[in-house]
Structure 1
Amino acid sequence: MSELFSSANIDLSQKRKNSKIETEMEATIMNQKRRSIALLIVVLFAGIIDVDAGILPAPAYKYQLAPIYTDWPGYTNDNCGPAVNAMIINYFLGIDLSTAINSSPPEAQAIGCLSEARWKYCEAHGLSGGYRDRYDQTNGASRMTTVLNHVGLRSELVTGGNVTLSRIEQAIDRGSLVICHVDVEQYYPHDPAKNQTRRAISHYVLAYGYTSTHIVIHDPGYQALYNYYVARSNFQKALENAAGGGYKQLIEVFAPVPVQHFSFPNHSPQSWSLGNGTSISFNYGLDQ
């Protein structure tokens, strides 16, 4: 009988110890949670984390004037359109199109089209003689979307009142890159004291991120504007004042969607097009 009481006391004592350990562990975990929450609050108030941010991995930057040759013919390379498209094609497809002089193939060199990025425009539009016009032929939004379509990238042109910061954010949240038509002076004003001329009034840049206070861009025309954070109010003005106002444009370039294949053995394959560049094919039914 004494052995039973002794055993019972041991069990009770062990249960109390276990209960105490569990209580201490729960208290420790609770304290850790409280410390974590307190740290998160401090970090948020300090502005270290922006809960309204959405930033894609930075595309490889392309400078449209690399290198600068003042005696280049107007149809060789020095435009923002080919440079922006080159960044997008490299980002989504892994194809590196150089904006540097003498980077194009021999047939392009023969007509004075001296960069790979510029030559891609000729290929897309079937122009064997290159581009003779400096801006209208390569920087127009429709020209840019034609090039993107030529390499298999789907895009959507947005104009007028639909061109908003919110629209840019929605695109980035989908994993898209956004080409924006801007007046650079609104976020990177020139300095007359340094004999600088007015910045480009009609220019295309690439947006790939945003925070609650900024839009993140690559500007191919100004090397200082690589991975550049533009204040939202200034970027809004840049969109509204592009080409002197009245020419609000952006192009959402969608991430490529691979063809999805679903298969159940021993049944005839079926295929449907979703109408957005994606198709689904599968064999249906169940094996007996």
Structure 2
Amino acid sequence: MDYFEKKGILKKVKRYWQSKKKKREEKIFINCPKCKKLTLKKELEENLYICPECNNYLNMPSIFRLNSIFDSYEIINSDFKNRDPLNFPDYGEKLEREREKTGLDEAIIVAKGMIDDFETYVFILDSSFLMGSLSTYVGYRIVDCFNRANRDSLPVISFSASGGARMQEGIFSLMQMANTTFALREHSNNKNLYLSIMTNPTTGGVSASFASLGDIIISEPGAMIGFTGPRVIEQTLNRKLPEDFQRAEFLLEKGFLDDIVERRDLKNYISKILEYHQG
């Protein structure tokens, strides 16, 4: 026994089994980051990824988001190829690991479908894939979504959840702020509706471009929204910020948002907006 302890073998074995146990728990339970309570994954899915203990809004996978909003839909795929414009070291391998881990092709899903009697396009940023960061591919898909909706004279709904521009793509990522904005403007110039829904978190280049340019801008409760995180701002200004700074409720009070809508009410809320717009 002393020999195994000296070689650190017991610690390695212990870490291995703890890792196995954690992975098994993750398949069955989800840990709320706010109250730290474990909830059965199935129960959380049925509750629209809202913690039953503290009512905290957890990040909702994009497929569940589609299913909660649409009565029927089809996912629009893309043959866009340029996924690594700078040949950034190990970036290709990182993307492959993210695809394997999340089951997603990238940080965005684009779909066209029916909400009640209204046809619309939607794109959803999924924060489980590299924090929903704005890559060249993500920008291309958003532009394509607006172009399709403009061609068909249909509304666009976006669900933002992002850490901002993707570092591994540098200026090519930042260019997507302009590309998406131009496509949105063409869509808007033809009197087509754009509804922007901000979820937690919506930050960086996403918050500074298309996410903030909706005809109607709403958010889920408690979402963090802003360009730079509060810790960076506090360090820069050398002052303490309000506790709810950059939260949806604070931004609604300041006039940045039009409304805050509970996740359970989103479908009916969106349907009403589409009805008013069509009327």
Aligning the two structures, in what range does the TM-score lie when normalised by the shorter sequence? Answer: under 0.3
**What TM-score do you get using the length of structure 2 for normalisation?**
0.25
Higher gyration radius (CA): 1
